[in-house]
Chain A
């Protein structure tokens, strides 16, 4: 088992990373790097983060309970070694990819994850804008397979924590491009800017946590184009810095849609589990439709993603 000290160290590393936020802000104010900080946006990020910590901290027994129960019925017992930890780190990153993709493609889960994408800015403090409801959405069940396979929950938890540590530094505009080999294998600020962008051609792309290989394998990779800078935020803007509105606005929207008169059961389920933007009457657009409309304007098919296929190893 990983020693408890390891978790303590990772916890302090996560908090130490917060120091990079004032550093980025200071360097940006001196014109030394490219970053924009809006005071109210940044302070909203911090408020949302505190809410997220409280929700995570008070409800983490749900995740622990589910994963521990799965581990008690495990197929085998996998020891904690360097090799097995490397394996669980990669598998945990694959779990993250799948979790992330579902979180964008199913509205119920999007209602939780939308919080992280709701800022119109993209800087290190954007990291802090995290969901308050991820423990309740049901996706904690995705923690089951690795524990059921035989990886101790502490190993999985450590891999998850390190995954999050890695993802901190990619929320920045100050890093343009890294060496090609690194950009090919790993998630980078460039790839993650695309992920946070609301430009139609960038929608539903680059879900990776650490290894970009998942997006390349599963066809969701899109490269950043210098000619089209990312516009951050949601396709339909939020206009609020209120942490409660940021945390719950999509649930309110779902409730409004479910309250439409005369819906059939299938249509109500659609408002919960179809992709964001779906409506039974078609008056809104899903992200796929937005991409196709945009692609039609550009003169090629929207579902053909020229960047989706591996174009060759570095």
Chain B
């Protein structure tokens, strides 16, 4: 069977599903984070022992977590209908930059996370987190790759 047949079938399937996604809701409502406690609750599903303080983005779609006694910073981000959490260790960020009024653009060194833009509540929060995250973009050592190989 030619490769073209299954590829064409997949493209047709994609078109059908895309049309259905327009017509039907099939994922739970994407609730925003309600408060810092809610962010920590989601974060602890991946990192159960986490202690710290969370800062929400303005839309409640992400949070940065200051971890007690650690250089690393936690990040929680909504990706589609699910939450993704990770630690940011020194060297994990390729680049962190201010963007827009109160935004932060994070680019990661590993391939497991696409770049994210976090719109914080105000420039004060942005300045704080920019100062906190910028050192993590400095390659002081080769840090472990957080997305890597934990799940078998």
Residues of A bordering B, CB below 8 Å: 7-8, 11, 15, 18, 21-22, 25-26, 28-29, 35-43, 46-47, 49-50, 53-54, 57-58, 104-105, 107, 110-111, 114, 117, 120-121, 125, 128, 198, 203-204, 231, 233-242, 245, 248-250, 252-254, 256-257, 259-261, 275-277, 279, 283-287, 290
Contacts and interface: CB of A to CB of B under 8 A. Distances in A.
Contact of B149 (A35, A50, A250): A250
Given A53-B6, A284-B144, A245 B111 contact: yes
Contacts of B5: 15
Contact of B82 (A110, A111, A120): A120
B26 A236 contact: no
Contacts of B138: none
Contacts of B21: 37, 39, 42
B125 interface: no
B124 interface: no
Contacts of B112: 236-240, 245, 249, 253
Contacts of A279: 144
Shortest 5 CB-CB contacts between residues of A and residues of B: A253-B148, A276-B149, A29-B24, A234-B151, A235-B150
Contact of B111 (A35, A104, A105, A252): A252
B26 A234 contact: no
Contacts of A114: 149, 151
Interface in B1-47: 1, 3, 5-7, 9-11, 13-14, 16-18, 20-21, 24-28, 45-46
A40 B80 contact: yes
B82 A50 contact: no
Contacts of A25: 17, 20, 24, 26
Given A25-B26, A121-B82, A236 B46 contact: yes
B88 to A, nearest CB: 12
Nearest to A105: B152
B117 interface: no
Contact of B152 (A22, A35, A46, A104): A104
Given A53-B6, A236-B148, 5 more contacts: A11-B1, A29-B20, A36-B27, A114-B151, A120-B80
B135 interface: no
Contacts of B151: 114, 117, 198, 203, 233-236, 276, 287
Contacts of A35: 26
A33 to B, nearest CB: 11
Contacts of B81: 36, 38, 41, 121
27 contacts: A21-B13, A22-B16, A36-B27, A36-B28, A36-B81, A39-B80, A43-B17, A43-B18, A53-B3, A53-B7, A58-B3, A114-B151, A233-B82, A236-B86, A236-B148, A239-B79, A245-B112, A245-B114, A254-B148, A256-B110, A256-B142, A257-B142, A257-B144, A276-B149, A277-B152, A283-B144, A290-B150
B84 interface: yes
A104 B111 CA distance: 20
B20 A38 contact: no
B102 to A, nearest CB: 22
A238 B113 contact: yes
Contact of B150 (A54, A105, A111, A284): A284
